[in-house]
């Protein structure tokens, strides 16, 4: 990916950071987007640079009017074009159906579905022919394994539909569009319940869901994204890639 420019939304922490670091390792110059945690984004950039890679941080709150335009204005200050777009940023919820109110529903769709739609629509103007778009979905969009997060799952289902249709729209330009669906991944966001003293069985339960008998890592997901972003992934488009470690098998 030497000479390529990538943008990873929500790239400062968790899965996004793993993706940003892997793309940089493969030679891409990576824009690390953050919503509010500038310090985490700068640390991700510093880690990439310490490893010999190239990266820059850009901040833009998602889920608010004008979010996509603000993100691209910040990006344009650092780069003159794009080769790889990873729509990773998202928010989750643990509130069940009966407790979800309209404001939470609207917020989830604004960040998880509307933002990547318009980020991609404006980004298509900057994306060079032969480029890559990778949307980070979730295993819960294809199976009701965690029904208490139904609204979150619905947002990811919308992202999956977007992925399939967009692959037809941008295919004539040689641009591939795919979705990668993680299962349970060991990130700082999940640490409280995976490793919490009050939920000692959570780690074993999460590992048991996978056919491979362990909890996923950010590297597991980043490696799948890297394949799709690289030349080897050129003939894969419009696909939903199960990266749950066989949790849905």
Instruction: Identify whether 94 is a catalytic site residue.
Output: no
Instruction: Identify whether 34 is a catalytic site residue.
Output: no
Q: Is the pLDDT of residue 162 over 90?
A: yes
Q: Is the pLDDT of residue 165 over 70?
A: yes
Across all residues in the chain, what is the average pLDDT? Answer: 94
Supply the pLDDT for residue 203.
83
Closest CA to 83 of 19, 129, 120: 129
The structure's pTM equals: 0.95
Supply the pLDDT for residue 88.
98
Q: Is the pLDDT of residue 155 over 90?
A: yes
Q: Would residue 175 be called left, alpha or beta, if left means φ above 0 and alpha means ψ between -120 and 50 degrees?
A: beta
Helices 14-25 and 38-50: crossing angle in degrees, nearest 10, is 30
Instruction: Identify whether 210 is a catalytic site residue.
Output: no
Whole-number Å distance between alpha carbons of 237 and 243 = 16
Supply the pLDDT for residue 92.
87
Catalytically annotated residue among 12, 34, 141, 152:
152
Supply the pLDDT for residue 196.
67
What Rg value do the Cα atoms of the chain yield, rounded? 17
Supply the pLDDT for residue 132.
98
Supply the pLDDT for residue 198.
66
Q: Is the pLDDT of residue 197 over 70?
A: no
Alpha helices, DSSP H, located in the chain: 14-25, 38-50, 67-76, 102-109, 115-123, 150-170, 191-194, 202-209, 218-229
Catalytically annotated residue among 12, 34, 137, 210:
137
Residue 87 pairs with which residues in a beta bridge?
A: 135
Whole-number Å distance between alpha carbons of 175 and 84 = 9
Q: How confident is the model at residue 238 (pLDDT cuts 50, 70, 90)?
A: very high
Instruction: Identify whether 137 is a catalytic site residue.
Output: yes
Q: Is the pLDDT of residue 156 over 70?
A: yes
Q: How many CB atoms lie within 10 A of CB 183?
A: 23
Show the tokens assigned to 43. 């640390």
Closest CA to 158 of 186, 182, 138: 138
CATH topology of domain 5-188+218-242: Rossmann fold (3.40.50)
Q: Is the pLDDT of residue 172 over 70?
A: yes
Where b means 16+ CB within 10 Å and e means fewer, 104-136 reads eeeebbbbbbbbbbbbbebbbebbeeebbbbbb
Q: What are the residue boundaries of the structural domains of the chain, listed by start?
A: 5-188+218-242
Catalytically annotated residue among 4, 12, 34, 138:
138
What is the mean predicted confidence (pLDDT) over 136-152? 90
What tens digit of pLDDT does each residue of 48-107 get? Answer: 999 999 999 999 999 999 999 999 999 999 999 999 999 999 998 778 899 999 999 999
């Amino acid at each position: 990916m030497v000479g390529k420019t990538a943008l990873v939304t929500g790239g400062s922490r968790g899965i996004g950071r793993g993706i940003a670091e892997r793309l940089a390792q493969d030679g891409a110059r990576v824009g690390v987007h953050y919503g509010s945690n500038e310090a985490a984004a700068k640390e991700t950039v510093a880690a990439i640079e310490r490893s010999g890679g190239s990266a820059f941080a850009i901040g833009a709150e998602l889920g608010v009017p004008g979010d996509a335009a603000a993100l691209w204005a910040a990006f344009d200050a650092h780069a003159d074009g794009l080769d790889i777009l990873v729509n990773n940023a998202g928010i989750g919820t643990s509130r069940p159906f009966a407790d979800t109110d309209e404001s939470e529903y609207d917020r989830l769709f604004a960040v998880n579905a509307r933002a990547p739609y318009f980020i991609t629509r404006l980004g298509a103007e900057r994306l060079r022919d032969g480029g890559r778009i990778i949307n980070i979905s979730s295993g819960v969009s294809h199976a009701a394994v965690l029904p208490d997060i139904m609204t979150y799952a619905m947002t990811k289902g919308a992202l999956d539909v977007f992925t399939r249709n967009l692959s037809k729209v941008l295919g004539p330009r040689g641009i591939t569009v795919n979705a990668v669906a993680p299962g349970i991944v060991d990130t700082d966001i999940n640490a409280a319940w995976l490793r919490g003293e009050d939920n000692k069985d959570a780690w074993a339960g999460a590992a048991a869901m996978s056919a491979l008998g362990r909890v996923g890592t950010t590297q597991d997901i980043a490696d799948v994204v890297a394949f799709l972003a690289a030349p080897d992934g050129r003939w894969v488009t419009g696909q939903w890639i199960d990266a749950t470690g066989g949790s849905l098998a």
